[in-house]
């Protein structure tokens, strides 16, 4: 990672993806979690404090040193133990079927090989376990989609590889998981960036 990706982007992500208006979305995304949870794209720990009582441990994957540093105070105050276990969601250093559920929030848009990351989720989550996600992505309205495609090259350069045109539900289904719940809507702000989807999938046996 360069200086911009390591020192600026984590702060920008914390600012744009945090705050009170995002908390209710994040809370919805964490509702189906239980047991030992793998969290891809842990960032600065914005989901800490929102985990349900059924969660017993969180295993965090996060490449940014600064984000991990900024997560320190949240982790220290957490009732749920959090342990960093890896840097790359495309290669998770955990055994097959070793966690009960998984979570990612505003992560699938940026992972270079999103299919590999979702294959890792399917590999490490036990059969019948949940994968919960909150993502921005491809809008349902064609005029907005056209703008998303136009803006995506600039977005990827300025926002650490972030894609505007990925469809999180389609990606999860393509990874072989069954999406049991999903809902999407526009948040306040420019539509190309603010179509959010929150959902839950089940890992098959």
Would you write out the chain's pLDDT as a tens digit for each of its 205 residues?
677 777 788 888 888 888 888 999 999 999 989 999 999 999 999 999 999 999 999 999 999 999 999 999 999 999 999 999 999 999 999 999 999 999 999 999 999 999 999 999 999 999 999 999 999 999 999 999 999 999 999 999 999 999 999 999 999 999 999 999 999 999 999 999 999 999 999 999 8
Burial 109-139 (b: 16+ CB within 10 A, else e): bbbeebeebbebbbebbeeebbbbbbbbbbb
User: E strands along 63-158, which residues?
Assistant: 82-86, 99-105, 125-136
Backbone angles phi, psi at 110, to 5 degrees: -110, -25
Order of strands across the sheet that contains 82-86 = 82-86, 55-61, 35-40, 99-105, 125-136, 195-202, 178-186
Looking at residue 109, what is its pLDDT? 96
Q: What is the pLDDT of residue 43?
A: 95
Q: Which residue range forms the structural domain that includes residue 37?
A: 3-202
Helix, strand or coil, per DSSP, at residue 51:
coil
d(CA 90, CA 42): 14
How much is the pLDDT for 103? Answer: 98
Compute the distance between CA of residue 142 and CA of residue 146 in angstroms, rounded to an integer: 6
What is the reported pLDDT for 196?
Answer: 97
Cα–Cα dist 12/103, whole Å: 21
Q: What is the pTM of this model?
A: 0.95
User: What does the pLDDT read at residue 93?
Assistant: 97
Are 48 and 74 in contact by the 8 Å Cβ rule? The answer is: yes
Instruction: Give the chain's domain count.
Output: 1
Q: Helix, strand, or coil here: 55?
A: strand
What whole-number distance in Å separates Cα of residue 10 and Cα of residue 43?
Answer: 7
- CATH code of 39's domain: 3.40.50.150
Please answer whether residues 139 and 164 qualify as being in contact, where contact means their C-beta atoms are separated by less than 8 angstroms: no
């Amino acid at each position: 990672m360069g200086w911009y990706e390591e020192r600026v982007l984590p702060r920008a992500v914390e600012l744009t993806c945090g705050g009170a208006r995002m908390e209710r979305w994040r809370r919805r995304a964490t509702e189906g979690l239980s047991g030992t949870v793998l969290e891809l794209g842990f960032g600065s720990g914005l989901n800490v404090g929102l985990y349900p009582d059924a969660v017993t441990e969180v295993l965090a994957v996060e490449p940014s040193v600064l984000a991990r540093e900024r997560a320190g105070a949240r982790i220290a105050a957490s009732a749920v133990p959090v342990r960093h276990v890896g840097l790359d969601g495309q290669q998770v250093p955990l055994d097959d079927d070793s966690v009960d559920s998984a979570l990612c929030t505003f992560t699938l848009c940026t992972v270079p090989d999103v299919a590999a990351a979702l294959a890792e989720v399917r590999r490490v989550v036990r059969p019948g376990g949940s994968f919960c996600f909150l993502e921005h992505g491809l809008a349902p309205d064609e005029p907005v989609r056209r703008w998303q495609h136009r803006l995506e090259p600039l977005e990827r350069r300025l926002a650490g590889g972030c894609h505007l045109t990925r469809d999180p539900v389609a990606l999860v289904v393509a990874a072989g998981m069954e999406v049991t719940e999903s809902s999407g809507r526009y948040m306040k702000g420019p539509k190309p960036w603010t179509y959010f989807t929150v959902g839950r999938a089940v890992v098959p046996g």
